[in-house]
Amino acid sequence: MAFAETKTRPDQDAPAPVEKDRLRKLLAQVERPAAPSPWAAARAFGWRSMLKIKHVPEQLADILLFPIMMLLMFTYLFGGAIAGGTGDYLQFLLPGIMVMSIVMTTMYTGMSVNIDIHKGVSDRFRTLPIWRASPMVGYLLADVFRYAAAGTIMFGTGMVMGYRPSGGPDGVLLGVALLLVFCFSFSWLWTWLGLITRSEKTVMSISMTILFPLTFLSNVMVDPATMPGWLQPVVENTPISRLVDGVRGLFDGNVETSAVTTTLAWSAAFVAVFGFLTVRAYNRR
Amino acid sequence: MAHRDIAIRAEGLVKHFKDIKAVDGVDLSVPAGTVYGVLGPNGAGKTTTVRMLATLLRPDAGSATVFGHDIATDPAAVRTQVSLTGQYASLDEDLTGVENLVLLSRLYGYTKPAARSRAEDLLEAFGLGYAAGKQVKSYSGGMRRRLDIAASIIITPKLLFLDEPTTGLDPRSRNQVWEVIRTIVGEGTTVLLTTQYLEEADQLAGRIAVIDTGKVIAEGTPGELKSSVGAGSIRLRLHNTDQRGHAQKVLTDALGAQVEFDDDPVALTALLKPGEDTAAQGSHALGELAKAGILVDDFSLGQPSLDEVFLALTDRVDA
């Protein structure tokens, strides 16, 4: 008996015959629904990405574990050396490290765009009469969901470790919202890169080269006042530093309006420039 | 309705990839409501031509219209008329069969419930209902092809591009795809079919463009293409080997044609004269053989196959 079972089940691969009469009836239904609105098309693509998470849940692991790892590592390994104690340092670090790790995970968007665009399915999408940017917006919608999940987990872990936001729940929600708006906008850089590069490996190495200096050259881990004088104005004015100022301010309840408006201005600029380049690259492929 | 009778008109389409001229001046005129075959070997430029016509690639030179809409200046209008089933399954492998069709139905503007019912109807019609909930990556080649074609007729397109729809399929799946194509054309959709199988073009297409190294080297109905090469031939197998010489002499006298011995020691082939009635030449030859007392085991009268056509045409280009 142990040898009698075989894995070959020919019926499995022998689908029922095509039902021609049914097919004819379906073909004869020529009335066509009105084309979907841009937003409806983007939502459909967002739903597709969510289904992919459902079918391949491993892809969430990266995006959820990486931030927790960063939080634990920087608090307990470097907290003592940088700030002389882990408790106070966590209070300073949490908003920044949340920005840093979630901004770093945005590069996965570029990789999935690149993998997708080389598959036959994107040919089909590109021959559909829909808003040209909707597949990209769809990716980003699902990604924003992932970032929100990562943000929640980081915040929860921080609370367990002793973090207390003085800005209250409103401040925290607004801070996370600001971060999500920035990530959505910043990711258009990756969709563009995903479309114009040859392989996902290239996307990854280019994104790393951009992300490492951009996130480390910031006020995430240390106060820029400790840096050499010539470096301070540079570090204080990168988009990431301004975002961290905004999120940290909202979490702490002492936000500068200019940090929020500058971040929103940067976000608008990213969408305008890289959104345009993305759609152009998508049309030219 | 000036363009009612012409589905695709292409003039001088050119596409380069780096130094390679993938498509080098293709002209096509595809009548509406028929299957039009684009026949050629791998790398001939078939897929590149289809991708330009389906608005996936911009031509470097030349122009084309699909039902009167210019592919370069009005691609959005072209997209409302066409569907594409690419050479590699144009489906999302991670999603299930039904999810793929629901997604695409939503993208065509169906409401959620309507999308679901359209998806289920299509899966049933294509005999895939039992696999609706399985991820496409677990589908066999034939199942993928059918799901792919189902996805292309969510909205009945006026023009359907099928890029090598049966490459790599077993004979049964291939016959099923042929049946589907005939049904779709029967309902009025124009089909542009690329294939490297001569038999497939012969079986399905009303007209064929033979394409090689980026150029159309011949165009016409399957019958016209065959007769452009020669009138056909008579092939005989004799009962007795020692009558072959006699048979050769009788046939040469009867037909005034060239008669050759085959490798098979009892067989010989007579090439018919072009421009004369093939059937009459055949009966005349048989009658003369009977009068001469030559016993024939097997007799076949044939037009040249598309294989012969293809080899003859590509030889001409190479020469």
Nearest Cα neighbor of A104 from A45, A162, A171, A154 is A154
pTM of the shown model = 0.82
pLDDT recorded at residue A46: 95
CB contact under 8 A, B126 and A36: no
Cα–Cα dist B66/B64, whole Å? 7
CATH number, span B231-303: 3.30.70.100
Cβ-based neighbour number of residue B127 at 10 Å: 20
Q: What is the mean pLDDT of residues B263-272?
A: 84
B36-88 pLDDT per residue, tens:
999 988 888 999 999 999 999 999 999 999 999 999 999 999 999 999 998 87
Average pLDDT, chain A: 88
Residue B66 — φ and ψ, nearest 5°? -120, 115
Residue of A139 and A15 predicted with greater confidence: A139
Residue B57 in 3-state DSSP? coil
CB B48 within 8 A of CB B59: no
pLDDT at B114 over 60: yes
Mutation for testing the A interface, residue in B51, B79, B94, B140 having most A CBs under 10 Å: B94
Distance of CA B26 to the CA centre of its chain: 17
pLDDT at A196 over 70: yes
Residue of A159 and B89 predicted with greater confidence: A159
Q: What is the mean pLDDT of residues A6-17?
A: 52
Distance of CA A34 to the CA centre of its chain: 31
pLDDT at A182 over 50: yes
Residue of B179 and B311 predicted with greater confidence: B179
Inter-chain CB pairs, A–B, below 8 Å? 141
Among A12-16, A158-162, B236-240, top mean pLDDT goes to A158-162
Cα–Cα dist B182/B205, whole Å? 10
CB A43 within 8 A of CB B112: no
CB B303 within 8 A of CB B232: yes
pLDDT at B278 over 70: yes
Considering only CB atoms, which chain B residues are within 8 Å of A282? none
Residue B8 in 3-state DSSP? strand
Nearest Cα neighbor of A197 from A100, A277, A127 is A277
- Identify the band that residue B306 occupies on the pLDDT scale cut at 50, 70 and 90: low
pLDDT at B232 over 80: no
- Identify the band that residue B254 occupies on the pLDDT scale cut at 50, 70 and 90: confident
pLDDT recorded at residue A6: 44
Share of chain B above pLDDT 90, in %: 55
ipTM score for this prediction: 0.85
CB B164 within 8 A of CB B196: yes
pLDDT recorded at residue B316: 54
- Identify the band that residue B27 occupies on the pLDDT scale cut at 50, 70 and 90: very high
Q: What is the mean pLDDT of residues A169-188?
A: 95
Residue B253: Cβ-neighbour burial (10 angstroms; 0-12, 13-18, 19+): exposed
- Under 8 Å CB-to-CB from A229, ≥6 apart: which residues? none
Q: Is the minimum CB–CB distance between B167 and chain A shorter than 8 Å?
A: no
CB B234 within 8 A of CB B269: yes
pLDDT recorded at residue B279: 77
- Identify the band that residue A277 occupies on the pLDDT scale cut at 50, 70 and 90: very high
Cα–Cα dist A238/B40, whole Å? 56
pLDDT recorded at residue B155: 93
Average pLDDT, chain B: 88
Q: Is the minimum CB–CB distance between B8 and chain A shorter than 8 Å?
A: no
Q: Is the minimum CB–CB distance between B191 and chain A shorter than 8 Å?
A: no
pLDDT at B268 over 60: yes
Cα–Cα dist B38/B161, whole Å? 11
- Identify the band that residue B305 occupies on the pLDDT scale cut at 50, 70 and 90: low
CB contact under 8 A, B76 and A130: no
Residue of B159 and B258 predicted with greater confidence: B159
Domain boundaries along the sequence of chain A: 38-284
Cα–Cα dist A180/A168, whole Å? 19
Q: Which residue numbers of A have CB closer than 8 Å to B's CBs?
A: 13, 15-20, 22-30, 32-36, 40-41, 44, 47-48, 51-52, 55-56, 119-121, 123-130, 284-285
CATH classification number, B6-227, choose in 3.40.50.1360, 1.20.80.10, 3.40.50.300, 2.30.42.10: 3.40.50.300
pLDDT recorded at residue A100: 93
Considering only CB atoms, which chain A residues are within 8 Å of B121? 22, 26
pLDDT recorded at residue A15: 58
Q: What is the mean pLDDT of residues A41-61?
A: 91
Whole-angstrom distance between the N-terminal and C-terminal Cα of chain B?
A: 44
pLDDT at A202 over 60: yes
CB A109 within 8 A of CB A137: no
Domain boundaries along the sequence of chain B: 6-227, 231-303
Cα–Cα dist B21/B36, whole Å? 24
Residue B239: Cβ-neighbour burial (10 angstroms; 0-12, 13-18, 19+): exposed
Q: Is the minimum CB–CB distance between B122 and chain A shorter than 8 Å?
A: yes
Q: What is the mean pLDDT of residues B94-110?
A: 96
User: Tell me, what amino acid is at A13?
Assistant: D
